[in-house]
Chain A
Amino acid sequence: LASWVPVVGLEIHAQISSNSKLFSGSQVQFAAPPNSLVSFFDASLPGTLPVLNRRCVEAAVMTGLALNCSINKKSLFDRKHYFYADLPAGYQITQQRVPIAVNGSLSYSLCIDNKMSQMVTKTVRIKQIQLEQDSGKSLHDDARSQTLVDLNRAGVGLMEVVMEPDMCCGEEAAAAVRELQLILQTLGSSQAVMAEGQLRVDANVSVHHPGEPYGVRTEVKNINSIRFLAKAVDYEIQRQIEELENGGTILNETRAFDSKLGCTIPMRDKEGKQDYRFMPEPNLPPLILYDAKSLPVNMNHQQVVNIDWIRERLPDLPSVKRAKLVELYGILPEHSFTLLNEDGLAEYFENVVKQTQMKPKKVIGWILNDLLSYLKQHALPVKESPVSSFLLADLLNLLERREISSSAAKQVFEELWKGEGKTPLEIVKEKKLELIQDQKELEKVCQEVIDRQEDEVIMMVLG
């Protein structure tokens, strides 16, 4: 069987976390009543003009810096034309010619063979980040042959992050997106919750034989979670391989992922190739950004965006946080991944460590095995844990001081989980789980047991 090289690239749209939209003052809010967050500009009323939102620019610069991009000190806005009910102006304002950031990279980690203990780091190149408008939403009501249009989302700021086709499978794509998500959430530039449409991923997939040129690629859309991303990509790779091995050809088309069937299907024909008739946006002058060197002396700093100023204030990125956790606490790298993967878990862990004498290397076991599994079982986020870090630390201290055994500790933990407000010590006393340290006391207990079970003892002695 000839070997195939799958090639996967991603186009990710992240909704910018801001109070108002990219070019207008209307509010950004999820699940508001339809058409309640629409300004005259968003509705494309004639005579209205775009005004650039500074916060959106800062979000894009932050993201660009976090992804090791070059920030273009001059970037341009363009119009991309097509007709659709959710695009009131008949064009989207985007950055096609010169985007705000280019040539970056993102490092992500994967487990080899599903073993957490073997992680490998990979890198994907970031082609560019561009600012653009989100479209509205249209809902097709086939029963009444009508389309309902909600423009609340029309004009919300997006960062489109283009990842080069450096990935080779669903797992890599998923890991890359997961890391991007964490970065965006750490920066605060996007809340990046896929379920709320704040992070949308389209995958470009193709296959070719080693040494041969890249194959025809398809675009896969309608992917609603990271899990489905991996599935969709892997399915599409398989589909293309099978198609080609059966002598078929791959069409340069757009396919939708059907999560129920677990496969990709061709999307309704979009009238062949679209010519977007790109044209410079004449109502927006070039976006000029400054750094410490180029900032004019008497410029009002409220009026400009200073790249260096933003760089200095970047928070620790996930990769840095993980490294710090490993160094500070001596935990394994894979542990640090899990800690960061759950919102608030790293903080929880650190709080427990602060309040207990138990070594972090032992604490981590309790966090990742006990606490986390309970949280998962009950589908609770860390912040809703009935066991606070204080209580857990308290429990671990009892264990560390050998006042209880580890199996007893697990029982106490189960009780704590009920959230009845009892302290670990109270539970221990209630259930008589104290470890007996006194020699005489122990002898007494053993004697009692032997006395009760005389027959068994005689059998044992006789052998």
Chain B
Amino acid sequence: RSQRDARLQVSAALKEGRVSATELCQRCLSLIKSTGFLNAYVTVAKGTALKQAEESEKRYRRGQPLGVLDGIPFAVKDNFNTAGIETTCASNMLKGYISPYNATVVQKLLDQGAVLLGKTNLDEFAMGSGSTDGIFGPVRNPWSYSRQYKEKAPPKSGSENEESDWVITGGSSGGSAAAVSSFTCFAALGSDTGGSTRNPAAHCGVVGLKPTYGLISRHGLIPLVNSMDVPGILTRCVDDAAVVLGSLAGHDPKDSTTIQDTFKPFELPNLIDVRKLCIGIPKEYHAPGLSSEILALWSKAADLFRDAGAKVIEVSLPHTRYSIVCYHVLCTAEVASNMARFDGLEYGHRADMNKSTESMYAATRREGFNDVVRGRILSGNYFLLKQNYENYFIKAQKVRRLIANDFVKVFASGVDILLTPTTLSDAVPYVEFIKEDNRTRSAQDDILTQAANMAGLPAISIPTALSKRGLPVGLQFIGRSFQEKQLLTVAKWFEKQVKFPMIQLEVKRHDCSVFQHQKSVSFL
């Protein structure tokens, strides 16, 4: 059975009483436990989750569910505030920090009756593209434990540990992607600043949606780059993403960067005609380092559209190659600013240093932040110095405008959707990934996803096919501002065509018997 039908069926099952919300919650919790080695979760909110599930059950019994998300378990990246639950950003700076309020997006899901299972792992303060640089350690891609990957692995010499083969999830929302991919929840929230939702979605074989900037509230999302951050949605199919989007989008008076227009939630059609569409293939996205496999898939995808009657043309986004450098300047500048609040005074880690306020600040920040964070703060402050501001920050803002204008021009010329790869390759093994530093990796891995954040555009990664190593590869669609409906419709059509296979997760249980995960998905 396809993944698309899974959530719909669960909803139906809940409604018809064939499965209870509590049962569903308990199964997910138990699955989280048995997939603990993935290190996807930082905090599991068992007590509150079961309570929420109970409440949901009562509502279903009364025949009054709050909506399609009532009783549905979800997970949230640990950079979103969750009242009463620890929010760490995978950093020593916030270890033990209990949020006193819910992020708007979390509140909206809870208001729909969804069940919050826990907080997921990430790169510290969302800085990274591997979900490897947080204090809780790296997240493991569930596909590392899939039959599909194991089958394709080269024969090993006896001494080699199977353990060293595991691949990364990508990042920085790796925990959320892994959580969805391993069936522990039906949807997860991530964040996307330069690709942090789409990148792990592609590597973990799930749908990763980056909405238009200003569509979904950032209130409660601990910021990385305020002018680029958006909450991201990770699900197993496009229809699910549309449902979650429907409950999250809309103006929030607490976030002055959300647009005022009323948002109308939409359902995606089942029959989609792509003949009137014009798909743009930006030639600059044939980036150096793009694997031949992915290039081939990309080409195949273009053909798919062409064969179905859509117009497929090559387009140019000439300033694409400047986006990495531009992003680096703007991102580090905002990071330096956003991290200034972490001084140990009001909350969070405080160093045991009493000589002076300055020395306390310095020790706190040295102890609380990892190298990546500290490195970005230093760079950012450098770019913001009076003597540098014009040459770096202002220049980068101008380049950003050029990048955004590239998209405006292309969309104005009749192109509806852009089709690009999401990543340069499939997921690399962890031992490979850590050979390069965070900065290098981020620069490499963000290249295909970043420009959409610069321009504020909506973009989605759809699992397309398995690589020859048996790992997921995703392709990306980029749409016009606030045209999520069109974007998701095209994505849904594509999803239907490619029929991406379900992960055959092989997990060792404590009784040492191996069981196949897909069975646990069918509650019916």
Cβ contacts under 8 Å, B385 to chain A: 275, 277
Any B CB within 8 A of the CB of A302: no
Any B CB within 8 A of the CB of A463: no
Contact check, B361 vs A51: say whether CB atoms are below 8 A apart: no
Within 8 A of B (CB), among A268-316: 275-279, 282-285
The 8 Å CB contact of B101, one of A40, A90, A149, is: A40
The 8 Å CB contact of B218, one of A49, A147, A275, A278, is: A49
Any A CB within 8 A of the CB of B255: yes
For the complex, what is the distance from the CA of A390 to the CA of B227, rounded to whole Å? 64
Any A CB within 8 A of the CB of B343: yes
Any A CB within 8 A of the CB of B238: no
Within 8 A of A (CB), among B113-141: none
The 8 Å CB contact of B223, one of A47, A83, A84, A278, is: A47
For the complex, what is the distance from the CA of A48 to the CA of B254, rounded to whole Å? 8
B175 to chain A: closest CB distance in Å? 18
Q: Evaluate whether A83 and B343 lie within 8 angstroms (CB atoms) in the complex, with A40-B101, A47-B223, A283-B256 already known.
A: yes
Cβ contacts under 8 Å, A79 to chain B: 337
Within 8 A of A (CB), among B358-409: 358, 361, 381, 384-386, 389, 393
Contact check, A48 vs B337: say whether CB atoms are below 8 A apart: no
Within 8 A of A (CB), among B218-264: 218-223, 225-227, 253-257
Any A CB within 8 A of the CB of B506: no
Cβ contacts under 8 Å, A277 to chain B: 336-337, 381, 384-386, 389
For the complex, what is the distance from the CA of A292 to the CA of B100, rounded to whole Å? 44
Q: Is the contact region of chain A dominated by helix, strand, or loop, or is it mixed? A: loop
Cβ contacts under 8 Å, A51 to chain B: 253-254, 256
For the complex, what is the distance from the CA of A406 to the CA of B259, rounded to whole Å? 73
Any A CB within 8 A of the CB of B354: yes
Contact check, A50 vs B103: say whether CB atoms are below 8 A apart: no
Contact check, A49 vs B346: say whether CB atoms are below 8 A apart: no
For the complex, what is the distance from the CA of A145 to the CA of B87, rounded to whole Å? 32
Contact check, B389 vs A278: say whether CB atoms are below 8 A apart: yes
For the complex, what is the distance from the CA of A83 to the CA of B357, rounded to whole Å? 9
Cβ contacts under 8 Å, B343 to chain A: 83, 88, 90
Cβ contacts under 8 Å, B347 to chain A: 43, 45-46
Contact check, B256 vs A46: say whether CB atoms are below 8 A apart: no
Cβ contacts under 8 Å, B221 to chain A: 47
Cβ contacts under 8 Å, A88 to chain B: 341, 343, 345-346
The 8 Å CB contact of B227, one of A90, A276, A282, is: A282
Cβ contacts under 8 Å, A84 to chain B: 357
Q: Return the chain A residue nearest B358 by Cβ.
A: A83
Any A CB within 8 A of the CB of B333: yes
A48 to chain B: closest CB distance in Å? 7
Contact check, A283 vs B257: say whether CB atoms are below 8 A apart: yes
A200 to chain B: closest CB distance in Å? 23
Contact check, B357 vs A85: say whether CB atoms are below 8 A apart: yes
Within 8 A of B (CB), among A373-412: none
For the complex, what is the distance from the CA of A276 to the CA of B358, rounded to whole Å? 17
Q: Evaluate whether A81 and B219 lie within 8 angstroms (CB atoms) in the complex, with A44-B346, A282-B226, A283-B226 already known.
A: no
Any B CB within 8 A of the CB of A52: yes
Any B CB within 8 A of the CB of A89: yes
Cβ contacts under 8 Å, B253 to chain A: 51
For the complex, what is the distance from the CA of A47 to the CA of B254, rounded to whole Å? 11
For the complex, what is the distance from the CA of A81 to the CA of B487, rounded to whole Å? 40
The 8 Å CB contact of A285, one of B81, B100, B257, B334, is: B257
Any A CB within 8 A of the CB of B66: no
Contact check, B223 vs A91: say whether CB atoms are below 8 A apart: no
For the complex, what is the distance from the CA of A50 to the CA of B226, rounded to whole Å? 12
Chain B 336-357 against A: per-residue CB contact (8 Å), 1 yes, 0 no?
1101111101110000001001
Which 9 A-B pairs give the minimum distances between C-beta atoms? Answer: A90-B340, A277-B384, A282-B226, A282-B227, A44-B341, A46-B222, A47-B220, A89-B341, A47-B81
Contacts A/B (CB < 8 Å), 11 sampled: A40-B101, A45-B346, A46-B341, A49-B219, A49-B256, A49-B257, A51-B254, A90-B340, A90-B343, A145-B354, A277-B385
Taking A49-B254, A90-B343, A283-B255 as known contacts, 17 extra A-B pairs with beta carbons closer than 8 A to each other, sorted by chain A number, are: A44-B341, A46-B87, A46-B347, A47-B80, A47-B81, A47-B222, A81-B384, A83-B358, A88-B341, A88-B343, A89-B340, A89-B341, A278-B384, A279-B333, A282-B226, A283-B256, A285-B257
